[in-house]
Amino acid sequence: MHSQGSTAILLKVVFLGVVDAVAVWAGVGLVLQANYALLAVLLVGAGLLNVLTLSRRAYPLRYLVPGLLFLFGMVVYPIFYTAYVSLTNLQTGNLLTKEQVLDLLDRRYVASHDPRTFSYTAFASEEGEIVLILRESESENVLVWADGRLGPLDPADPRFSVDEAGTVAVDGFREIVGVERYQFLGELEKLSIPYGSEYLRLSGLSEFRTYRKQYAFDTSTDRLTDLQTGTVYTPIEGVFTDEAGNEIEPGFQAWIGGRNFLSLFTSPGIRGDFGRVFAWTIVWSLLSVLLSFSLGLGLALLLNDRQLKLRVVYRTLLIVPYVMPVFISALVWRGMFNENFGIVNRIFQTLFHTKYSWLSDPMLARGVLIFVNIWLSFPYMMLISLGALQSIPEQLYEAARIDGAGMVHRFTRVTLPLLMISLAPLLIGSFAFAFNNFTLIYLVTAGRPAVLGAASPAGATDILISWTFRIAFEGGAGNQYGLASAISILIFAVIATISAIGFRFTKRLEEVYK
């Protein structure tokens, strides 16, 4: 026993030693990168791991912490990050940070008024270091760029040797010639060599030319100045804008508060799209749940009859839609409702000499979606209803018959109330699932057909979640991640509210039953 305890302690020490060594190594790198937020997470994580390993009192937490970490990483963090994005202008054209945009604008140049051109010879070392010999086109001026400095060629410098023809060689470097220049083209294009008040930059494959910076940023006033025109730009909601309203692209991420939420209710175009999509989402969810539950309950009542022959066969056949993967069933139904080649239109053409635009007409496409969703979900409703029916005591039905209750009264006064006690939470969950059933919408109609005059990519069959996806990733005017995040927060609030109301209703049913 003593030997086993010593071995366990030794393993703990070795394990923590390796973990702490890696944490120290990673921490030093984070300090050098000034990434203090990630450094704090690293220190807290390493400290927590040490406490959990060494402390006997923290022993139970060893089993809770992994689950809590996954809960935080998979649920809590995405919720808070989505809420944060909803309060910013994150979208196409505003993806970079302000520092990245300023760095990008700082590397924008314009040609000098009286440009000077230099032919060049490039040399490279084995380590990839580059040396340039620059010859001005209209004079005998020869410059050397090496070690990050530019200066005149010094024949006395032992690194350089010049032959009788004026050809320069660099000790330890080989000349870049022919097609090899294309391999170093990216490195040469990045060079911006200070030359007085101007800069030497690559202009074409064979020469450098003098350029001037286009913009200058004043950190004290937070303003950007165009050095060519003198125009001053100030940052307004993530875009540098002048007094006339002209903007400089790209913009940057900025905090805009609740503007994304306000646009859902104040912007005429977005408000109209949101209202139409929200109304269809409610109708879609209600009809899907009510119709599939009605069909599933009806079949469950039939299959619960012990006098019904071949009940096992019927149950097996009716479960098939539930067993098939959703994406396969959705794609199969989409093909069957194809207006040109689908079997549904072939049947209509054969019997009635007509065909319908099932997926192109808005109302028909919505009907198809509801039909397919009922097909996919009624077996689940049938199974849960069948299980709930079999849990109802037969004595209750006997008492109802003695009191003279008919079949309809027994169903409405006994069966349905008792079913709702156990099935109401499942129906609430089914409503929430239908409310966010992105997969079926996207696979069958992709939210289409399109709606003429829509201010956003909101199709006739889009529900809130598919509309959010299309705003974030399929926007014709760009991807609007901030607006999509705001809609996601509203979806979360709606589902949470409906669930809370539903569970309060369920609790009342339980109290009545008691």
**Looking at residues 108-113, what average pLDDT do you find?**
92
Range of the domain at 505: 263-513
376 & 300 share domain: yes
- Beta-carbon contacts of residue 115 (< 8 Å; ≥ 6 apart): 209, 210, 211
Please indicate, yes or no, whether residues 385 and 483 belong to a single structural domain of this protein.
yes
Contact 303, 386 (CB under 8 A): yes
Say yes or no: 236 and 189 in one domain. Answer: no
pLDDT band at 106, cuts 50/70/90?
very high
Prediction pTM value:
0.83
- Condensed to tens digits (0 to 9), the pLDDT of residues 63-85 reads 888 888 888 888 899 999 999 99
- If one counts every other C-beta atom within 10 angstroms of the C-beta of residue 275, the result is 12
Q: Residue 21: its pLDDT value, please? A: 92
pLDDT at 435 over 60: yes
Would the CA dihedral through 486, 487, 491, 493 be positive or negative?
A: positive
**458 in any annotated domain:** yes
Q: What is 200-238 written as a DSSP string?
A: EEE-SSSEEEEEEESEEEETTTTEEEETTT--EEEEETT
**How many residues appear in the chain?**
514
What CATH number does residue 302 fall under?
1.10.3720.10
> How many domains in the chain?
4
Q: Which residues pair with 143 in a beta bridge?
A: 134, 152
Asked, for residue 92, whether it belongs to a domain, the answer is no
**287 belongs to a structural domain:** yes
CA distances from 257 to 77, 97, 110 (A): 20, 17, 37
Q: Do 15 and 149 share a domain, yes or no?
A: no
402, 494: one domain? yes
Burial class (CB in 10 A: 0-12, 13-18, 19+), 224: buried
In a domain, 253, yes or no: no
* 154 shares a domain with 123: yes
What pLDDT digit, counting tens, does each position of 356-373 carry? 999 999 999 999 999 999
